[in-house]
Chain A
Amino acid sequence: MIAAIPSLRAFAVSLSGNADRADDLVQETLVKAWSHLSSFQAGTNLSAWLFTILRNVYYSEYRKRRREVADSDGAFAAQLAQPAAQNDHMDFLDFTAAMQKLPPDQREAIILVGASGLSYEEAAAVCSCAVGTMKSRVNRGRNRLAELLATSPAAAKIIAKAG
């Protein structure tokens, strides 16, 4: 289970957009996973199983916190080291803010498939949805992100260059 912690944290941070909250999510996930170890099928993907638990924890909290203001001021993004090589392409703060504006089902879809490296089938299993639904969420999420980012000055530059 130790080996799965880094990817669990990465998923939690990407999903919640908040590093402190992410670690609380991971903590709760580990406790829950431990008490439900018997329901884990040996030989299957442990990370995927833990992702499933983490998103359940996240969504039960998400419902409670729905009225709270999202971290749109870039406080989270500022905690992360800004990758120097990316500066000329897309504003890092814009990106993390845009991620948090996505509907959660689309956000988790593009994280699982685009960053965690899960197959559509694995991602669909984590989210207990059909594979086709997962593909659709990934595509809608990416298109929506592109729309959101197209309004930022950095992205406008890219479009001007590409056009």
Chain B
Amino acid sequence: MSSMTEIEKPKMTKKADKESGIRVVDNRSVAKGQPQQSEIQVQIGRQLRTVYDDVLNQPIPDRFMELLQKLDTPKK
């Protein structure tokens, strides 16, 4: 891994461990008592997955299959 770019380690903050009321793993359950916030958060979760899933479901472009084939061929 030595040739790979190292990313600076982020600094730890004390409040980083504090749990927010908003659950993010499951975007369908959001903070109670914040109706405006939660409606937006539901939309954000949905949009986020829409962009992601749109690409996820696309067929793999040929360039990557060709690349892997090329990489798989032992150099002589």
Binding site for B on A (CB under 8 A): 1-2, 5-7, 9-11, 13-14, 19, 22-23, 26-27, 30-32, 34, 36, 39, 53, 55-57, 59-60, 80-81, 83, 86, 89-90, 92, 95-96, 99, 105, 110-111, 113-116, 119-120, 127-130, 132-133, 135-136, 138-139, 142, 145-146, 149-150, 155, 158-159, 161-163
Q: Is the interface of B mostly helix, strand, loop or mixed?
A: helix
Enumerate chain A residues within 8 angstroms of B63, measured Cβ to Cβ: 23, 27
Enumerate chain A residues within 8 angstroms of B22, measured Cβ to Cβ: 139, 142
Closest A residue, CB atoms, query B14? A132
Enumerate chain A residues within 8 angstroms of B51, measured Cβ to Cβ: 10, 13-14, 80, 95-96, 99, 115
Closest-CB distance, A9 to chain B (whole angstroms): 5
Enumerate chain A residues within 8 angstroms of B12, measured Cβ to Cβ: 130, 132-133
Enumerate chain B residues within 8 angstroms of A135, measured Cβ to Cβ: 16-17, 19-20
Q: How many residues of B contact A (CB 8 A)?
A: 49
Query: Contact at B7–A27, with CB atoms within 8 Å?
Result: no
Q: A31 to B24: give the CA distance in the assembly, Å.
A: 33
Closest B residue, CB atoms, query A55? B7
B1-41 CB mask vs A (1 if < 8 Å, else 0) is 10011110110110111111010110100000001110111
Q: A99 to B24: give the CA distance in the assembly, Å.
A: 16
Query: Contact at A27–B67, with CB atoms within 8 Å?
Result: yes
